[in-house]
Chains A and B, each alone.
Chain A
C-alpha cells in the first residue's frame, strides 16, 4: 500500500491516479469527521468537497517533515469546519479557485454520506489499531472487540492477567490519544 505522504507528493506533480487513491482512502474518514461535528448530511458533503478541493489546490505546499499526510489533511478539514462555524455557512472558495462545477446533492448522496461515515469510523479504528505494537493490538482485539475474559486471554497469550490488563489499558490510552490527534 502506497504511503499517504508519497501519494500527496505524487498528486502535487500531477499524478491523478495517486490523488484518486488518496481520495478513496480518506474520503470515509473526512465524511465521518464532518458528519459527527455538524450532524447535517448536506453540510458534511459540502465540507468534504471543500476539504478535498483545498487538498488539490495546496498539495504543492505539503511538507512531510512538518507532519504526516493524515495530520495535514485533518488540519485542513478542521480549518474548513471552523470557518463554517464562524461564518455560519460553508465557503466554496477552494472549489471556486479550482473552477469546479457545483455538484447537486441527491438523496442517494445523503444516504452515501452516512454509509461512508460509518465506514470511516471503522477504517480509522483499523488504521489506528494497526499502528499499535502487536502485543497491545492483540490484547485490545481480544478484550474489547471479541469481549473475552482477562483470564482466558492471559492463558492464550501465555502471560499473567495483570500484564493483559496493563496492555489493554496502555493500548486504549494510546488509541485515545491518536484519535484526538486525528480528529
Chain B
C-alpha cells in the first residue's frame, strides 16, 4: 500500500464517519414518544425520510429549569432547498400579538417562547427540518410536554398537553440528552442570520458581561429581541425575546447559548451571523501612504462590490510578486507596528458599497541588520504587485503596488510586513480601544486583590528575534479570596531608585500573545500571571537605552506597586520608535503560573 493509498483510505474513513455521526445524532429523536406520534403525521413522515436520507433533521426537546412547564408544540414548516428553518413553539397561554396570525408567526423564524411571571425558562421545544426537502404543507397538532397544571405560566392546565416529559430530557442538560443541540444551534443562527440580513436586527452598541465585551443587536419589529453577540466570531451568546400575551402580560423567552464552540456546528452556521465576504464580492485598492520612521504605513481598502451584506473578520494575507509575477518571499506579521495601533480583531459588516481597510507597515528596503550591530546595505527583492487574500478567504485579489520592505515589527528581514486586522471604513486605523473595558461589577463577597494581599515573582523568560519576554506571577498571600481583572502597570527604576522612562503598551506584541481580558479569582495561595515583552538592542544603532535595576509592578486596579528584582533594558519608544527607549508590552492577567494555556489565547483567523 503506497502512502497515497493510505491517505485515501484514511480520508474515506473520515468522510464515512460524517454520515455515521449524523445518524447517531438523529436516532434518539426517532425513538422519542413524540416522534412516534409524529411518524403517523405528514411531517413525521418527512422527518423520518430525511433522517434516513442522511439529511439534517432533528427534534430537540428540552425542558425548563424546573421541568414544570406545559408546552404544546403546534406547527412546523420547512421550505426550500437552502435549509431555511421555520419553527414555532407554543406555550399554552401564549397568544400571538394582535394582527399576527399563525402564518405570520411562522415567518419569524426564531420564536423561542417560554413564560412565567418571574421565571425565565430556557429553550422549550424546537423542531427543524433542513436539507433538500420541499414544503411540508400542513401539520396538525402533534404533541408536547406535560407537567403539573399548577406550574403552567398562567396556572391553568393546558388542553394540549399530551405526552409526558421524556426521561431523556432532564432539566439543565437538554443538549447533552438530546444530542441535537448542534442542529438546534445551527437552526437558531440561521434564523438570526435571516433577520440580520433583512435588516430587522440592528446594532445597538456594546455591553460587558462576565468581563467579556459583547455586541448588542436589537429588533423592534414583531416580538422585541435583544441578541448579545460575541464580536470575535459574531456568534450569539444570548437571545432575549419579549412577547405580549393576551392572558398574562409580557412573556419572556431567553435562550442562553452556553458555548457554541463546543458544539459540532455545521460549517455554514459556524461561519457567523452574516456570511463572510467572498473574494468575488470584493475589490481592493491602495489607500494613503504615510511615512514613518524609516518606513511607510499604507492603507489597503476592501470594498463590497456585490449587492448583499457580508462580513470580514480578522487579518488578511499578503503575497508579494515581482515584475514577472513570481512570488517574492513575504513574511506577514500580525499586530502593531509604527503608526499601526494594536487593534482588536472585530467583525466588520460590509453593506453593498461599504468598505473596510487594513494597514500595512514596513521599513523601507535597502538596509538590513549588520552582523556587527546596526544596519548595513542589503539587496532585498522589490515587489511590483501584491496578492491580497481577504480574511478567511481562499482566493486573492491582485493589486499593483511597488514596495520594497525589509523589516517590520518582527525585526529586520527582507520581505517582512506587519498587517493590522480589518477595521471599518476607508481611512486610517482607528485609535485602539481601551483594552480594559468597564470594570466588571464584582460581587461584594469577591473583592479585587489589594497590593497588600499579593506577592509578585519572576517566572520564565524567553528571547526570540530581537525580543525578550518575561512571565511575572502574582500570588494571593492573604487568607481571603480576591480577584484580578485587566492589565498591570509597570515602572522601571534605576540603581539609585530614580524612575526610568517606561512606556507600557497594553495588548500583544511579537513575543506577548494576544489574550482576552478575564476576571481571575485567586483563592488563598493561588497564582495568576501576566506576560511582559520588549525589544532588545538588536537593530537599534547609535542609541544606548538604560537598564533597570528593579521594576515596580502595580496589580490591575490597585494603587500601590510591588517591587520586583528584574533588570530589563527595553529599546524602542512609544509605538516602536527606533530612537526611543523603554517601551514594554503587557498582557492581561491570566490564571496560574507559567505561560497562558493554549485555549486562553484569542482565536486568530487563519
* A interface, CB within 8 angstroms of B: 11-16, 19-20, 23-24, 27, 45, 48-49, 52-53, 56, 58, 60-61, 66, 72, 75-76, 79, 82, 85-86, 93, 98-101, 103-106, 108-109, 112, 116
Q: Knowing A76-B394, A86-B331 touch, does A14 contact B16 (C-beta < 8 A)?
A: yes
B2 touches A109 (CB 8 A): yes
Judge whether A109 and B4 touch: CB under 8 Å: yes
Q: Which residues of A contact B7 (CB under 8 A)?
A: 48-49, 52, 100, 103
**Closest 9 pairs between A and B when the two form their complex, measured CB to CB:** A14-B19, A109-B3, A14-B18, A16-B12, A16-B16, A75-B394, A16-B15, A19-B15, A103-B3
Cα-based distance from A105 to B1 in the complex (angstroms): 11
Given known A45-B3, A100-B14, contact A13–B19 (CB-CB < 8 A): yes
Residues on the B chain within 8 Å of A104, using CB: 3
The answer to whether B12 touches A112 (Cβ under 8 A) is no
User: Is there a chain A Cβ closer than 8 Å to B203's Cβ?
Assistant: no
B331–A16 touching, CB < 8 Å:
no
The interface residues of chain B lying within 8 Å CB-to-CB of A82 are 317, 319, 327, 387, 389
A residues in contact with B593, CB < 8 Å: none
Assembled-state Cα–Cα distance A49/B10 (Å): 11
Set of chain A residues within 8 Å of B6, measured between Cβ atoms: 103
Taken together as a complex, chains A and B put the C-alpha atoms of A13 and B55 apart, in Å, by 8
Q: Are A58 and B3 in contact (CB under 8 A)?
A: no
B394 in contact with A14 (CB, 8 Å): no
> Is B266 part of the contact surface with A, judged by Cβ < 8 Å?
yes
Q: Within 8 Å CB of A93, what residues of B?
A: 606
Could you say which residues of chain A place their CB within 8 Å of the CB of B12?
16, 19-20, 23
Closest to A109 in B: B3
Q: Tell me the interface secondary structure of chain A in the complex.
A: helix
Task: Give 10 pairs: A residue, B residue, CB < 8 Å, sorted on A.
Answer: A11-B15, A20-B8, A48-B4, A48-B7, A60-B266, A61-B271, A76-B394, A85-B330, A100-B7, A108-B2
> Is B442 an interface position by the 8 A CB rule?
no
Nearest-neighbour CB distance to chain A for B138, whole angstroms, equals: 28
Min distance, Cβ A28 to any Cβ of chain B, angstroms = 10
Chain A residues, Cβ within 8 Å of B387? 82
- Which residues of B1-43 are within 8 A (CB) of A? 2-4, 6-8, 10-20, 22
Q: Mark B528-557, 1 if CB is under 8 A from A, else 0.
A: 000000000000000000000000000000
Which of A27, A58, A79, A86 contacts B332, CB < 8 Å?
A86
Q: Which residue of B lies closest to A110 (CB)?
A: B3
Name the distance in Å between B472's Cβ and chain A's nearest Cβ: 30
Neighbouring B residues of A112 by C-beta, 8 Å: 2-4
Task: Give B251 Cβ to nearest chain A Cβ, in Å.
Answer: 36
Contact A14 B268 (CB under 8 A): no
Q: What A residues does B3 contact at CB under 8 A?
A: 45, 103-106, 109, 112
Cβ 8 A contact of A14, one of B4, B15, B271, B329: B15
Name which residue of chain A comes closest to B266, CB basis: A60
Q: How many residues of B contact A (CB 8 A)?
A: 38
B54 at interface, CB cutoff 8 A: yes
What is the chain B residue whose CB lies nearest that of A58?
B267
The CA of A122 and the CA of B396, in the complex, are separated in Å by 28
**B331-390 contacts to A (CB < 8 Å):** 331-332, 387, 389
Asked whether B395 lies within 8 Å of A100 as measured between CB atoms, the reply is no
Tell me the complex Cα distance, A76–B393, Å.
Answer: 10
**Per-position binary interface string of chain B over residues 594-606, scored 1 when its CB falls under 8 Å from any chain A CB and 0 otherwise:** 0000000000001
- B556 CB to nearest A CB, Å: 34
| Pair B330/A86 contact, Cβ less than 8 Å | yes
How far is A73 from B283 in the complex, measured between Cα atoms in Å?
23
- Shortest beta-carbon distance from A70 to chain B in Å: 13
Answer whether A19 and B11 are a contact pair too, CB < 8 Å, given A14-B20, A66-B280, A108-B2: yes
Q: Which residues of chain B have C-beta atoms less than 8 A from A108's C-beta?
A: 2
Residues of B within 8 A of A116 (CB): 4
A75 touches B278 (CB 8 A): no
Given contacts A16-B12, A79-B389, A93-B606, 12 further A-B contacts (CB under 8 A): A14-B19, A15-B15, A49-B7, A56-B11, A56-B15, A86-B317, A86-B319, A86-B331, A100-B14, A104-B3, A106-B2, A112-B4
Given A19-B11, A100-B10, A85-B4 contact (CB < 8 Å): no
CA distance A109 to B7 in the complex (A): 12
Quick check: A61 and B15 within 8 Å, CB to CB?
Answer: no
Residue in B13, B271, B329, B606 whose CB lies within 8 Å of A16: B13
Which chain B residue has the least Cβ–Cβ distance from A80? B394
Residues of A contacting B2 in the complex (Cβ-Cβ under 8 angstroms): 106, 108-109, 112
Min CB gap A98→B, angstroms:
5
Q: Which A-chain residue is minimally distant from B318 (CB atoms)?
A: A86
Contact across chains for A66 and B15 when beta carbons are under 8 A apart: no
- Chain A neighbourhood of B22, CB < 8 A: 14
Q: How many angstroms from the CA of A27 to the CA of B4 in the assembled complex?
A: 9
| Of listed A12, A61, A100, A103, residue having the most chain B CB within 10 A | A103
Nearest-Cβ distance from residue A69 to partner chain B, whole angstroms: 13
Chain A nearest CB, measured from B393 CB (Å):
9
**Are A53 and B4 within 8 A (Cβ)?**
no
Q: How far does the Cβ of A57 sit from chain B's closest Cβ, in whole Å?
A: 8
Q: What residues of B have a CB within 8 angstroms of the CB of A106 in the complex?
A: 2-3
Q: Shortest Cβ distance from A52 into chain B, in angstroms?
A: 6
Question: In the complex, A58→B15 CA distance in Å?
Answer: 11
Taking CB as reference atom, which chain A residue is nearest B331?
A86
A85-B10 contact given A60-B266, A61-B267, A109-B2, CB 8 Å threshold: no
Which residues of B lie under 8 Å from residue A99 when comparing CB positions?
Answer: 14
A53 pairs with B267, CB closer than 8 A:
no
Q: How far is the CB of A118 from chain B (nearest CB, A)?
A: 15
Please name the residue on chain A nearest to B17 by beta carbon: A14
Asked whether, in the complex, the Cβ of B327 is within 8 Å of the Cβ of A13, the reply is no
In the assembled complex, the Cα of A105 lies from the Cα of B3 at a distance in Å of: 6
Asked whether A85 lies within 8 Å of B319 as measured between CB atoms, the reply is yes
How far is the CB of B542 from the nearest CB of chain A, in Å? 32
A176 to B353, CA, bound (A): 34
Q: A104-B3, A116-B4 are in contact. Are A98 and B14 (CB under 8 A)?
A: yes
